[in-house]
Chain A
Amino acid sequence: MDLGEKLEILADSAKYDVACTSSGVDRPGQHGSLGSCAAAGICHAFTPDGRCVSLLKVLYSNACSYDCRYCVNRRSNDRPRATFTPRELADLTIGFYRRNYIEGLFLSSAVLGSPDRTMELMIEALRILRQEYHFNGYIHAKTIPGSDPLLVERIGLLADRLSVNIEFPSENSLNQLAPDKNKKAILRPMGQIAVKSAESRQELAVYKRAPAFAPAGQSTQMIIGATPESDRHILNLTEGLYKKYALKRVFFSAYLPIVADEHLPTLSTRPPLLREHRLYQADWLLRYYHFSAGELLSEEEPNFDPYLDPKCTWAVRHPEFFPVEVNTASRAELLRVPGIGPKSATRIVQARRLQALGMAELKRIGVVLKRAQYFITCNGHTPGHGTRAEIANALLDPKAFGVGVQQLSLDDFTAKPLPAAAPAVHELAAHGMAADQAARLVREEALTCLTKRM
């Protein structure tokens, strides 16, 4: 099998892993080695599904000896199998990296025989990269659940970021869908990585030359929509993971049915992309906006509103918090205003030291006022007077009603609901209604409903 074919198979098998960022470490280049890292991460391409390609994301092997029900690579699934050699993988990484195609490597693998053997091969590939080729770019490695803690330690000294996928939001779902895996085998390395990284950071603070263990921290990923957990359950779990294991990121992956199984949604199920989007929005609120999971969802409302982003939902539920005076409010208060993000909030706080801010100034600063205007005052003046219906209209998330022509084939120019449109829009369209009409109808209903709530 030629290298191109292997690459195709092993990239195709890895593509459902959603994490592809190269963020978290800043490392300048050095003579004698190849590469550097930028803390913010760098994307190098965007696929036709709109996702960023930052790393050479491949499996070391897709010849799995496990049989997880949801996975294309499961043992019992009939598909082409391939396995790299450590050298092939290292050469491929260097070749792509020098051409500025990628920021580095994201290496994961199916279980090739046993978890330990798989990890040893992955480690060998990374060893060649780091020690023989002096590769100084980004490496993200996924540890294989059930492998020896010593191997986890070795791979952590070669990689910038490690991840252990928790796969599903609950133990029940995990047991049902991944019979060869168990919660303990997943959480143990997570705990080990958290402890090791913290130790390594301390050592580095004392002596600069101490070996760095996963300096970009660890992340995890879970599949949503294949199992019955609510958004609230998922978000609480996410918050807990950030706290307990000091994770850098939690990724969500909308379940895409690739194999038929009685325990899984049917093959015709659409991936819940809007739900995935809402979870990411909420995740941002946790990480950058000082929200807690408990503020965003409750027992009575355990799921996100498809038509409204989580921050707007919170604002609508908390009229007593508003208006916020832009000339005096704290940064944290500004961050609660729909339409004001971390950058705008910082700029507002800086700019107002030298001048009073009115609407014109806010516009120049680059604050998007479409939503914000109804929630702020500028020196006591309310910039936006709107009826409840007008405000509701500004708050609805256009993403939920997206319709457009996709270039799947060259002769099909009928508009369709975009992949992340609300399920209601997809459903009406599936029943034969024209997409834009479906979107309009659903939006009108959402608008009426929201206006009533305000």
Chain B
Amino acid sequence: MPYQANVTDTAYHYDGSFPGFLCCIFESFSRREIPAAVCPPEEAQMTLFGVREIATDPAHAQRVAAGLDRLGAVVRDRITTGFLCTDPGKDLKLLRFARLCFDLGPRAAQMLGDADAAAAFAIERAVTGEAHRYIEFIRFEERDGMLGTVIHPKHQVLPLLRGHFCSRLPDEDFLIFDATHGTALLRRNRRVQYLAMEHYSPCTDEAELNWQSLWKRFFKALTIEERRNERLQMGHVFKRFWPDMCEMRPDLPVAEESTHS
């Protein structure tokens, strides 16, 4: 395929921002080459290739963004959402996918038999999949009329949670703290902002703890012992979500922490 014609052994280094990434696409397009790697700062030291620093030029970024817009929502979302993924190597995969789409048009997104299209699809799914888990499993607690929660996601899912919770809780103030990446989504007086944040202390308000205990009692009462199947349960709620879900935390600090891996 033409876009793959010139695979070079140059690695692009960029500043890790989304406009910076778009400039990598611009560079690859204007030089008619496919880089061997595309590295944000945190992956930079790992490369074995010759390095080219790609400067972030807003004008270039805008041209690529407009191009992606023309390719339609499926392609654009696959790249913008995929960019929230934190798996190393995602940048090159998304760049190759972008080049494929610029070559073949929007239909390339459905060419899942193609390695680049399949890789980009998998990246997007990893992010949307995790975001969906949080839509299911976030547990808010209330303090002073405001809802708050802490999560530990792999990927940067906050932008994907925003629409859902703003629509669902249209008149509430809330805060979702992403402890992995040190950012928080804050909605106050119907306005949303992203903040850098370091620490979240769980609520100790008695009324709130009472709600949590009601929920736990409900959850326990629902279990049908004769059907108990913890493997099935773990297949649905991976253990890494448990610490942030009040019904999955053991009641007493000592007892019950189970021994399975």
Contact = CB atoms under 8 A, between A and B. Distances in A.
Contacts of B141: 99
Interface string B220-233: 11111111111111
Contacts of B227: 49-51, 256, 271, 273, 419
Nearest to B113: A361
B169 interface: yes
B28 to A, nearest CB: 22
Nearest to A47: B223
Interface in A1-18: 3-4, 7-9, 11-12, 15-16
Contacts of B111: 351, 354-355
Interface stretch (A26-34, A155-163, A198-206, A379-387): A26-34
A99 to B, nearest CB: 5
Contact of A8 (B114, B218, B232, B237): B218
A398 B96 CA distance: 39
Contact of B221 (A3, A12, A45, A52): A12
B229 A418 contact: yes
Given A406-B228, A407-B260, A364 B222 contact: no
Contacts of A414: none
A354 B222 contact: no
Closest 3 CB pairs of A and B: A50-B232, A361-B113, A49-B227
Contact of B258 (A96, A98, A410): A410
Given A351-B112, A406-B229, A50 B235 contact: yes
A332 B45 CA distance: 51
B224 A408 contact: no
Given A47-B222, A50-B236, A364-B115, A98 B169 contact: yes
A49 B228 contact: yes
B140 A354 contact: no
Interface in B219-261: 219-233, 235-237, 245, 247, 258-260
Given A48-B228, A50-B229, A365-B118, A351 B222 contact: no
B110 A354 contact: yes
A366 interface: yes
A46 B237 contact: yes
A96 B142 CA distance: 11
A366 B147 contact: no
A342 interface: no
A53 interface: yes
Contact of B168 (A36, A52, A57): A36
Given A45-B237, A351-B112, A407-B258, A101 B139 contact: yes
B224 A256 contact: yes
B226 A351 contact: no
Given A101-B215, A364-B112, A45 B245 contact: yes
A355 B170 contact: no
Contacts of B104: 354
B135 to A, nearest CB: 6
Contact of A7 (B169, B170, B221): B221
B101 interface: no
A52 B138 CA distance: 15
Contacts of A355: 111, 113-114
B200 interface: no
Given A99-B140, A99-B142, A15 B211 contact: no
A96 B212 CA distance: 9
B136 interface: yes
Interface string B149-186: 10000000000000010111111100000000000000
Given A8-B221, A96-B218, 17 more contacts: A3-B214, A7-B218, A15-B222, A15-B223, A31-B170, A36-B164, A46-B233, A48-B223, A48-B229, A49-B233, A50-B227, A50-B232, A99-B139, A256-B226, A273-B227, A350-B112, A354-B108
B52 interface: no
Nearest to A356: B113
B106 to A, nearest CB: 11
18 contacts: A9-B221, A29-B169, A31-B170, A36-B164, A45-B219, A46-B232, A48-B229, A49-B228, A50-B227, A50-B229, A50-B230, A53-B222, A96-B211, A98-B140, A271-B226, A355-B111, A355-B113, A355-B114
B18 interface: no
A69 B39 CA distance: 68
Nearest to A57: B222
B29 interface: no
A151 interface: no
Given A45-B237, A49-B229, A364 B142 contact: no
B188 interface: no
A13 to B, nearest CB: 9
A95 interface: yes
Contacts of A362: 113
A35 B260 CA distance: 38
A95 B212 CA distance: 10
A29 B112 contact: no
Contact of B167 (A28, A365, A408): A28
Contacts of B217: 4, 7-8
Given A96-B215, A273-B227, A350-B110, A45 B167 contact: no
B211 to A, nearest CB: 6
A34 B172 CA distance: 9
A9 B220 CA distance: 11
B138 A100 contact: yes
